[in-house]
DNA sequence: CGATTTTGACCAGCGC
DNA sequence: GCGCTGGTCAAAATCG
């Protein structure tokens, strides 16, 4: 599964005054005089030794980076799994039933327009912010206290506006302080961050199964890394732990 | 310094 | 026309 890179080949760069053919010949030919290798005071030998050590360090760094990538990959998959479980939870079903019931009782003229979706989301009652994590990025453009509810209503536009016309309103439920009512208007014309990550992960195995992975689809790696970075960098714990992990690994490599 | 949030002002629709 | 209400704008403040 690990994409191997032969760093020995790519990093070995002879100096301008050393013909390439000569260097390769001296390294490969066992029958000939090994003076090129044996001469300890030859600057080329020192250069080779230095590059070799550098090569080892780079391999180590690559290994560490790959381990971290796998670890992050596992965390993202776990989050996906948890989210799907939450979506199927009895609590969520109860909210959806409540919504259905309230819509059923609602007069026809007050029913939401087509393209409008109402979602009830459980939140921490002590948390006064009206932030609902739904996988999209939003820009708040207003807040009002409405007549029928003492809790303020927050107005958001999709961050991709005006390209994406979607708006949402977020207001704490009058009946249950642990629930916010989110009203979405319109349809997104782009993927959410979570959908981007899910897409990349769903196609990752196909790509990884081919030996020409990096040649065939370099863009997929870019999308995966970019989306994972965007998604995970939102978590302050993740960024601090990542920084700590990288710094400790760098120290390990330096003492190698 | 750019992006985002806050918040008072403003506007449109509706009922009286 | 006037007042009420929900929705939006935009300048100032705040954040990273």
A15-40: pLDDT as tens digits = 333 333 333 333 333 333 343 344 44
| Residues A139 and A181 grouped into a single domain | yes
Name the domain boundary from A139, A164, A185. Answer: A185
Nucleotide nearest residue A236, measured CA to C1': C16
A74 shares its domain with A133 = no
Under the banding of pLDDT at 50, 70 and 90, the label for residue A165 is: confident
The residues near A168 (Cβ < 8 Å, ≥ 6 apart) are A132, A138, A155, A156, A182, A183, A184, A185
Q: Which nucleotides of B are covered by protein (CB under 7 A)?
A: 4-9
Number of domains in chain A: 2
My answer on whether A122 and A174 are in the same domain is: yes
Position A105 in a domain: no
The most confident of A61-70, A204-213, A244-253, by mean pLDDT: A61-70
Residue A56 has pLDDT above 70, yes or no: yes
Express as a percent the part of chain A with pLDDT over 90.
2
**Of the ranges A64-68, A72-76, A124-128, A248-252, which one carries the lowest mean pLDDT score?**
A248-252
DSSP class of A29: -
CA dihedral A237, A239, A243, A249 (to 10 degrees): 90
Say yes or no: Cβ of A165 under 7 A from any atom of strand C.
no
Task: Please check the confidence at residue A183 and state whether its pLDDT lies above 70.
Answer: yes
A137 CB below 7 A from strand B atoms: yes
Question: Mean of the pLDDT values across residues A103-115?
Answer: 47
Q: Scan residues 93-152 of chain A and list those with Cβ within 7 Å of strand C.
A: 141-142, 144, 146-148
Distance of alpha carbon A157 from alpha carbon A148, whole angstroms: 23
Residues A232-246 have pLDDT tens digits of 554 444 544 455 544
The distance (Å) linking the CA of A234 with the C1' of C15 is 14
In a domain, A137, yes or no: yes
Indicate whether A175 and A127 sit together in one domain. Answer: yes
- Nucleotide nearest the Cα atom of A171 (by C1'): C6
Question: Are residues A176 and A123 located together in one domain of the fold?
Answer: yes
- Residue A144 belongs to some domain of the structure: yes
**Are A76 and A132 within one domain?**
no
Task: Please tell me which residue, A193 or A184, carries the higher pLDDT value.
Answer: A184
Of A38, A66, A85, the domain-final residue: A85
pLDDT at A143 over 80: yes
Residue A54 lies in a domain: yes
pTM score: 0.48
* Residue range of the domain that includes A176: 116-185
Q: Who's near A61: CB < 8 A, 6+ residues apart?
A: A249, A253
A5-to-A55, A70, A239 alpha-carbon distances in Å: 11, 17, 28
In a domain, A221, yes or no: no
Q: Are A181 and A120 within one domain?
A: yes
Residue A38 domain flag: no
Of A160, A185, A210, the last residue of a domain is: A185
For residue A225, the model assigns a pLDDT of 53
Mean pLDDT highest for which of A5-9, A179-183, A225-229, A232-236? A179-183
- Distance, in Å, from the CA atom of A239 to the CA atom of A230, rounded to the nearest integer, reads 11
A77 and A120 fall within a common domain: no
Residue A142 C-beta-side C-alpha neighbours within 13 Å: 8
Q: Is the pLDDT of residue A213 over 50?
A: no
Percentage with pLDDT > 70 across chain A: 31
DSSP secondary structure letters along A194-207: HHHHHHHHHHHHHH
Any domain includes A228: no
Would you say residue A152 has pLDDT above 80? yes
Q: What is the pLDDT of residue A155?
A: 92
Please check whether residues A181 and A123 belong to one and the same domain.
yes
CATH number for the domain including A145?
Answer: 2.20.25.80
Same domain, A130 and A181: yes
Pick the more confident residue, A150 or A113: A150
Asked if the structure places residue A167 within a domain, the reply is yes
User: Are A58 and A10 spatial neighbours (Cβ–Cβ below 8 Å)?
Assistant: no
């Amino acid at each position: 599964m690990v994409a191997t890179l032969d760093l020995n080949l790519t990093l070995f760069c002879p100096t301008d005054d050393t013909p390439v053919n000569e260097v390769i010949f001296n390294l490969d030919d066992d029958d000939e005089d090994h003076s090129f290798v044996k001469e300890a005071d030859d600057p080329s030998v020192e250069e080779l030794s230095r590059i070799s050590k550098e090569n080892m360090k780079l391999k180590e760094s690559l290994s560490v980076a790959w381990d971290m990538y796998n670890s992050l990959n596992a965390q993202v998959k776990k989050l996906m799994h948890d989210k799907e479980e939450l979506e199927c939870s009895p609590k969520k079903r109860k909210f959806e039933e409540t919504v259905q019931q309230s819509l059923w009782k609602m007069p026809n003229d007050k029913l939401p327009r087509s393209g409008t979706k109402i979602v009830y989301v459980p939140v921490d009652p002590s948390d006064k912010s009206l932030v609902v994590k739904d996988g999209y990025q939003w820009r708040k453009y207003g807040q009002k206290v409405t007549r029928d509810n003492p809790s303020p209503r927050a107005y958001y536009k999709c961050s991709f506006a005006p390209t994406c016309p979607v708006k949402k309103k977020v207001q704490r439920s009058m009946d249950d302080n642990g629930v916010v009512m989110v009203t979405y208007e319109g349809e997104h014309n782009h993927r959410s961050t979570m959908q981007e990550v899910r897409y990349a992960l769903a196609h990752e195995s196909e790509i990884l199964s081919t030996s020409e992975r990096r040649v065939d689809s370099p863009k997929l790696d870019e999308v995966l890394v970019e989306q994972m970075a965007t998604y995970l960098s939102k978590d302050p714990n993740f960024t601090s732990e990542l920084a700590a992990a990288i710094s400790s690994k760098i120290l390990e490599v330096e003492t190698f």
